[in-house]
Amino acid sequence: MAQGSSGSNSGKWTIQENKAFEKALAVFDKDTPDRWANVARAIGGRSPDEVKKHYEILVEDIMYIESGRVPFPKYRTTRGGTALKVNITTLGPLVLPFSEQLLFFTTLIARKLINQKIKPYLPDFKLAFNHFCIHAGGRAVIDELEKNLKLEPVHVEASRMTLHRFGNISSSSIWYELAYIEAKRRVKRVDKVWQIAFGSGFKCNSVVWIALRDVELSAHNPWLDCMEKYPVELAYNN
């Protein structure tokens, strides 16, 4: 079957199209004859060529995530950079103190009306959160977010120790990081925790937790048998 592009809806994929795409991939696996034509029909408005290209991008994103080479906001032309930038920009107004929001928007207006060379103001998320659980997809991921968000070593300790002990376990790492912070008995009443993880698509998701009480060490905590050994000294931190 010819895989032409006539009648396609070229351009940015909508949320609805991506959902239909993911469902169609589950229905039409790699052994399905004319897979991309079938997926295209299920989505509607997309050619088989566009669908195949979208799948290749999906695979590329997954490879970046699993290798720890997730792009960051300074790389504004990348899908990952855009996803993270949008996530942080959306989250900021919901959690940041008014003073930080004012500085951010004042700088933004000044850049547009006065001088585009004015350096954008990056809000201090340490004023909004007490603890950070960063997707431990690799050292580069943690290093870049620590640098870009101007975090202290203690803020990325849970991420680094999770990577050290469990390796790259993708987005599930944020739960081991939360368990680490809880095992250290650092989460106190009204503390706020920010979990941020990456996914294929390219997706960037945040979860914010507020402690209703001081969190005690659970008997089911995965760090229970080795908590006294951590944190360990990492060679690349020297």
pLDDT given at position 74: 41
Q: How far apart are CA 197 and CA 203, in angstroms?
A: 8
- Which residue in 234, 230, 237, 67 sits closest to 140, CA to CA? 67
Q: How far apart are CA 94 and CA 179, in angstroms?
A: 25
Give the model confidence (pLDDT) of 95-153 as tens digits. Answer: 989 888 888 778 778 777 777 777 777 789 999 999 999 998 888 888 888 988 899 99
pLDDT given at position 23: 85
Return the bridge partners of 196, or none: 134, 206
- Which residue in 82, 70, 33, 37 sits closest to 55, CA to CA? 37
Q: Which domains does the chain have, with CATH numbers?
A: 14-71 (1.10.10.60), 125-229 (3.40.47.10)
Q: How far apart are CA 183 and CA 221, in angstroms?
A: 7
pLDDT given at position 29: 85
Q: How far apart are CA 85 and CA 81, in angstroms?
A: 6
pLDDT given at position 153: 95
Averaged in consecutive runs of 10 residues, what is the pLDDT profile of the chain (238 residues)?
Answer: 41 80 85 91 91 81 57 45 77 88 80 74 89 89 87 96 90 94 97 89 85 94 94 76
Alpha-helix residue ranges (DSSP H) falling in 71-206:
79-95, 98-113, 139-148, 157-166, 173-183
Neighbours of 139 (CB within 10 A): 17
- Which residue in 164, 145, 170 sits closest to 236, CA to CA? 164
Chain length of the chain: 238
What totals of helices (H) and strands (E) does the chain contain, helices first?
A: 8, 3
- Burial of residue 79, with CB atoms counted within 10 A of its CB: 0-12 exposed, 13-18 middle, 19 or more buried: middle
Amino acid, single-letter form, for residue 78: T
pLDDT given at position 169: 83
pLDDT given at position 127: 94
In order of 29, 69, 76, the CA distances from 195 in angstroms are 33, 19, 22
Contact 145, 109 (CB under 8 A): no
Q: How far apart are CA 186 and CA 230, in angstroms?
A: 14
Return the bridge partners of 134, or none: 196
